[in-house]
A and B are shown apart, each in its own frame.
Chain A
Amino acid sequence: MTESVLIKLALLILFLPLIGFIVTLLFGKRIKWLYWFENSILILAFLLSAVLAYFKLTHFTDQTLISEFEWINLGSIPFVKSIIIDLGIMLDNITVLMILTVNIVSLLVHIFSVGYMKGDKRYNRYFSYLGIFTFSMLGIVLTHNLLMMYVFWELVGLSSYLLIGFWYEKKTASDAAKKAFIVNRIGDIGMFLGILTLFLTYNTFSFDKIFYQISTGNLPFGTEFGLTVAGVLLFCGAIGKSAQFPLHVWLPDAMEGPTPVSALIHAATMVAAGVYFMIRVFPILSGDALLVIATIGALSAFIPATIAVTQNDIKKVLAYSTISQLGYMIMAIGVGAYTFAFFHLVTHAFFKAGLFLGSGSVIHSMHHEQDMTKMGGLRKKMPLTYITFLVASLALSGIPFTSGFLSKDGILAGTFAFGSLTGYWYFAAVGFIVAFLTAFYMFRAIIMTFHGKPKNKEKFEHAKESSFVMAMPLVVLSALSLFFWYSLNPFNPNEGKLLSSWIKTPEISVPQSARYEFMKTDDKIINKENLEEVTYSNSYTEAIHHAHYPTLFTSASLALLGILFAFIFYQWKVFDPNKFAEKLKPIYLLSFNKWYFDEIYYASFVAGTIGLSKIISMFDNKFIDGIVNGSALFTKNFSAFTGKFDNVVVDGLVNMMAYISGMFGLFFRRFQTGKVQTYILFVVFSLIILLYIFR
């Protein structure tokens, strides 16, 4: 295994799903079994990515492999910089781990879909779309280049459009697809401008070249503010793709797509892309940009968590929990907890995929019923789904011995340390509140779905445990939600290989003066035995150490408290939640109506744009065309006038001349007798007169 072989392997993994997409799309209509082709391609891709990850992590642990080729060369003018755009891929530890995650989740979603989508009239088409979705996400993961990132970024948008709108006969589905694409585009504009800013300054799209230039002190527009602006603009892309506040509105609507697609979107592809992008560009994010990112992350963690508490649609609850968890990751990046952001991305991918597929299993057996108030008691009918769903929920809630506990605890420790170092405690506060809310709404969902008495007898009777193809992914994913894959010590993630030797905080390229205080490396002691733990500075390492145990206990106890509250309200019914809601009506309504984001956006931006377009169209028809037609009309009338003028005045003169000559004619007519003799007489007399004159 040499480096070039690894690169080729990565390229093969990248293009396999594309081949699957093309073949399945073109021939899927004729050849019914072609979805197995797509599935086997994914199995192959998974195996190859496991091989790739193994060799990369063991043999090239600390190396970054880059391969580029020239894509566009616009030539050069003498003395002016030449423009060459390269495309290329990069392999580092994060890349291979992410490829593996994406391929595992994608493969399991593929397998689950074989059962879930059975009987759909566009069965093969569905699998081909899954193929291009996987391809686009792998492109984002592998890229080494901002432009290529943008390319695959948009392709992910396309794939999500196709899949969310898969059942396009439903108006809501096609609306949701359109909304997802357009809302994403809003963020993409910001990202595109950020990319343009960086290209303008560095004349390259490649990450490493940009990082190097920044570390030498060459900043966009020459100022630290320029760097902050570039960072925030890039983050706009992540706001869109990762459904962060205020562009999170597309994600709950995206539940209109088939449930396995939701699993794919929410776990490993699409929304993960935003966080992954931020992880990629982390070295160039200045302190101010990070603060913006952390704030957005905190808002996105908090607001959807409050919404999820009151939702009754099982998929909506999961959707809002996704936004909330992504908010955690973004916030983690914002407070500098880089490794835990990625760690949470991976663990979240598995347990959220497990939750979505689990809800898919429930929905499938309930004949596409998604309303939790109509479920209940399914524990007995679907024990396997129940257990896997429970494990994944525990992971999401951050209960010890799960993967979610490890990663969420790390993030909370990061915010805690950040608070202690900078005094911005509210990130930690938000983190803990959301941890409590998460545990509460997840167990609310579990209790409403699986516990208690069935609300809809008829559907309950028909419900049954899902088939093997649907159950197997659930088991795998819930297994992956347990701690031992990541660290053998269930209370300290740093003991696992993943965090101790594979994922490391990268060198920050941002100039010292633009960083957070604690990221400045002035006091960083180069100490051999301490090296692995020191990320930014000694003070930060110390703060993280001190934060570990308080956060561990607080988060675990808050999560358990949340679960307890859920049981009090919904299982044992000590308090009636409806009465409680009645008392807190304004807050309840705010939460139930999702803080009215959709309504506000619709009333302002959507209605505004449509109204403006109507006005412009009117302006076009009435004003501009009015001028055009008016000038035509004017010309026409003017010509009518000149026509009149011609008839009356000009022709009048002509006719007058004719009349005058006519009068003369009438006079001379008298001499015209018609008698030859008279004429001769005239001739003779005139001759005589002439002779007399000229004699």
Chain B
Amino acid sequence: MINITLYHYLIVSSVLFCLGIFGVITRKNAIMVLMGIELILNAANINFVAFARYGNFGNSGQLAALFVIILAAAEAAIAMAIVLNIYKTFTNINIDEIDTLKD
């Protein structure tokens, strides 16, 4: 039986984080980018909880994770609204096409 240590958790969260970054950078669809962001946030959550479990932080890790989840939910709602509005304006949600930030 393998003894699961903090190290394992951190690897998982790193992988999740890299996947999230990869998603955010490569996806053309805004929804997919958002999902990438969710992955990054969850990677952070895993880190919080893992450090709380193995470190001497009491319950503050869990608490931070809860906050992040709530934040993610709110963020997702706002982000979806933005995406909807983008769709209304540009009739697509392809991020490559939406480069008005440049001007």
User: CB within 8 Å of B: which residues of A?
Assistant: 672-677, 680-681, 684
CA distance A681 to B101 in the complex (A): 16
Give the secondary structure class of B's interface. helix
Check B33–A677 contact: CB distance below 8 A: yes
Q: Are A673 and B102 in contact (CB under 8 A)?
A: yes
Complex Cα gap A676–B100 (Å): 11
Q: Name the B residues within 8 Å of A675 (CB-CB).
A: 95-96, 99, 101
Q: In the complex, what residues of A have CB within 8 A of residue B102's CB?
A: 672-674
> In the docked arrangement, what's the CA distance between A674 and B33, Å?
16
**B12 adjacent to chain A (CB < 8 Å):** no
Main secondary structure of the interface of A (DSSP, over half): helix
- Would you give the shortest CB distance from A552 to chain B, in whole angstroms? 133
With a CB–CB cut-off of 8 A, which chain B residues contact A681?
25
Min CB gap B57→A, angstroms: 24
Does B24 belong to the interface (CB within 8 Å)? yes
Report B82-101 CB contacts with A as 1/0, cut-off 8 Å. Answer: 00000000000001100111
Let me know if B24 and A674 touch, CB within 8 A.
no
Chain B residues, Cβ within 8 Å of A680: 21, 24-25
- Residues of A within 8 Å of B99, CB to CB, are 673-675
Contacts of A674 in B (CB 8 A): 99-103
Chain B: number of interface residues, binned into ranges: 10 to 19
Min CB gap A564→B, angstroms = 131
In the complex, the answer to whether B101 meets A684 with C-beta atoms within 8 Å is no
Contacts of B33 in A (CB 8 A): 676-677
Smallest CB-CB separation from A681: which chain B residue?
B25
Please tell me if the beta carbons of A677 and B103 are within 8 angstroms of each other in the complex. Answer: no
Contacts of B24 in A (CB 8 A): 677, 680
Please report the C-alpha to C-alpha distance between residue A681 and residue B36 in the assembled complex, in whole angstroms. Answer: 14
4 more A-B residue pairs beyond the given contacts A674-B99, A674-B102, A677-B95, with a C-beta to C-beta distance below 8 A:
A676-B33, A676-B101, A677-B25, A680-B24
Select A676's contact among B21, B26, B95, B103, beta carbons within 8 Å: B95
Please measure, in the bound complex, the distance between the C-alpha atom of A34 and the C-alpha atom of B26, giving whole angstroms: 125
Q: Bound state CA distance, A675 and B27, in angstroms?
A: 12
B18 to chain A, nearest CB (A): 10
Residues of A within 8 A of B100 (CB): 674
Q: Which residues of A contact B95 (CB under 8 A)?
A: 675-677
Cβ contacts under 8 Å, B26 to chain A: 677
Q: Which residues of B contact A684 (CB under 8 A)?
A: 21, 25
A675 to B96 alpha-carbon distance, docked (Å): 7
In the bound complex, CA of A672 to CA of B101 (Å): 9
CA distance A680 to B24 in the complex (A): 8
Give per-residue flags for B69-92: 1 if the beta carbon is below 8 A from chain A beta carbons, else 0.
000000000000000000000000
Nearest chain B CB to A658 CB, angstrom units = 21
Q: Write 11 A-B pairs (CB below 8 A) sorted by A numbering.
A: A672-B102, A674-B102, A675-B95, A675-B101, A676-B33, A677-B24, A677-B25, A677-B26, A677-B95, A680-B25, A681-B25
- Which chain A residue lies CB-closest to B27? A677
The docked-state distance in angstroms from the alpha carbon of A332 to that of B40 is: 139
CA of A680 to CA of B95 in the docked complex: distance in angstroms?
A: 13
In the A-B complex, the 9 residue pairs with the closest CB atoms: A674-B102, A674-B99, A674-B101, A677-B25, A675-B99, A681-B25, A672-B102, A680-B25, A680-B24
Bitwise interface map of B from 15 to 46 toward A, beta carbon under 8 Å scored 1, else 0: 00000010011100000010000000000000
CA distance A677 to B21 in the complex (A): 10
* CA distance in complex: A298, B14 (Å): 140
A688 to chain B, nearest CB (A): 11
Q: A672 to B103: give the CA distance in the assembly, Å.
A: 9
Nearest-CB distance from B25 to chain A (Å)? Answer: 5
Q: Which B residues are CB-close (under 8 A) to A676?
A: 33, 95, 101
